[in-house]
Amino acid sequence: MNYLYRSALVLLMLILSASFAVADEYDETRTLFENAGIGHLFESAYGYALFPTIGKGGFVVGGAYGEGRVYEQGRHVGYSSMIQASIGFQLGGTGFSQVIFFEDQRAFAEFVSGNFEFEAEAQATVLTAAAGASASTGGSSAVASGTKNNVAIAGAGYNKGMATYTITKGGLMYEASIGGQKFSFRRL
């Protein structure tokens, strides 16, 4: 019986430490973006979707995947996953963090209404710096780049009520491709 209690206690401690690690990952990612000069957007935006790590890889055909949290007026209200597909010259793999700000309730509602897409994205990523541009029929065109130690961030502000910023975490990827991102939303 004593063994059962000890096992339950160890399991409980592992679960609690894992939940704190996840919370820290989101806090650290938000702090990274705040330190990059866009902290005011976390306060002024109606809401935002925060993705601590998105992994991306490709060899002619590429893909990316990441999971994040969605916040409405500062409150965590759900989860989102992002899938990206691309085709063109690409080789390697990289990881990046991404945040999407929603300027108003309409933009937020559009994102959480179901499957949301950013299309026709063209991006070039080399080592831990990225340069990119995107043209979209339903989304955003702001792109940023940098590393945890050397953050460089740029963005054109809101486009159709949304502003997207990314920070490259690392990797090696050469890319000249066309693709799109698709997001899904699940309420708490």
Confidence bin at 2 (pLDDT 50/70/90):
low
Report residue 184: phi and psi, to 5°: -120, 155
**How long a stretch of residues is the chain?**
188
* The pLDDT value given to residue 8: 43
Q: Are 126 and 173 in contact (CB under 8 A)?
A: yes
pLDDT reported for residue 177:
78
Q: What's the 3-state SS for 47-112?
A: EEEEEEEEEEEEEEEEEEEEEEEEEECCEEEEEEEEEEEEEEEEEEEEEEEEEEEECCHHHHHHHH
pLDDT at 151: 47
List the structure tokens of 8.
Answer: 């339950």
The amino acid occupying position 105 is Q
Q: In Å, how far from its chain's centre is CA 137? A: 20
- Measured distance CA(5)–CA(26) in Å, rounded: 32
CA dihedral 122, 143, 183, 106 (to 10 degrees): -120
How many CB atoms sit inside 10 A of residue 80's CB?
20
CA distance 47 to 159: 15
Residues 39-70 have pLDDT tens digits of: 999 999 999 999 999 999 999 899 999 999 99
pTM value surpassing 0.85: no
Between 175 and 12, name the one with better pLDDT: 175
121, containing H or E segment: strand 116-126
> 114: which 2 tokens?
């179901």
